[in-house]
Amino acid sequence: METIGFIGTGHLGYPIAENLLKAGYTLRIYNRTREKALPLEQLGAILVGSPEETAVKGGIVLSLVADDKALEAIATDALVQALGEGGIHVSMSTVSPDISRELSAGHAKHGVLFVGAPVFARPEAATAKAGNSVISGPAKAKERIRPLLEAGFARNIFDLGEDAGSANVLKLMGNFMIAGALELMAEAFALAEKNGVDPREAYEMLTTTLFSGPIFRNYGAMILDRKFTGNPSFSAELGLKDMDLVLQTARKSHTADAAG
């Protein structure tokens, strides 16, 4: 099977890389903290010392990093040149639409295709290949990467067209709605407690009737069980980053003006 480059084996990248290795792909992996990727060597991964070393000519590199700055740091001219004509860079990170569009234009000057493909999945959903993927970019690149997304984490793939930033817009929309749901549930459960209503009974009634989606069921249970403390798979810092990106994107697109 094809050799794939993979950059970023954090909480979410790790299970995706693990699934790809188990599916028979050879991965050339770069992670800023090398030690975190070491267990993947036992599955056949090749650990390399720089982002550009993950690439093979005309091949595919998947990246999943924290933010715009981290994506810029790995999406260098060296990586683009290493991929070469016909190569594909798939950004699975939650980043701004602007950075995806900028990188898409820059990559294209060297014949490299860029696809925005942010991940909708918690680590356990990625492990179970029960996540959702939204993709945008050149059609021929999207068709080529579909088997990787399915093998890595995605039960469903939604195609948003050619604009590389469109997938990131939808990802920010989703994270904004999740954040709103978390706040909504926390305040509602507090209201129940303050008024002598068992919040778990309220949770069961509401999430099996009016609010039966996975966000309300899964995150609602986590709020009740206080599972957002300790060592969460998603930090408050990254959550704030996402909300800042939502505001940034809204301002640039004059969303508030349109809403008014």
Q: Count other Cβ atoms within 10 Å, centred on residue 215.
A: 16
Q: Are residues 78 and 84 in contact, defined by beta-carbon separation less than 8 angstroms?
A: no
* Residue where the block lists tokens 């945008």: 136
* Annotation says 227 is catalytic: no
CA 32 to centroid of chain Cα atoms: 17
Q: Where are the beta strands (DSSP E) in the chain?
A: 3-7, 26-30, 46-47, 60-63, 88-91, 113-116, 119-120, 131-135, 154-159
Q: Count other Cβ atoms within 10 Å, centred on residue 72.
A: 14
* Residue where the block lists tokens 């920010």: 172
Alpha carbon of 238 to those of 11, 96, 244: distances in Å?
A: 12, 13, 10
3 state SS of 154 = strand
Kindly name the residue from 171, 227, 241, 252 that is annotated as catalytic: 171
Kindly list the catalytic residues. 171
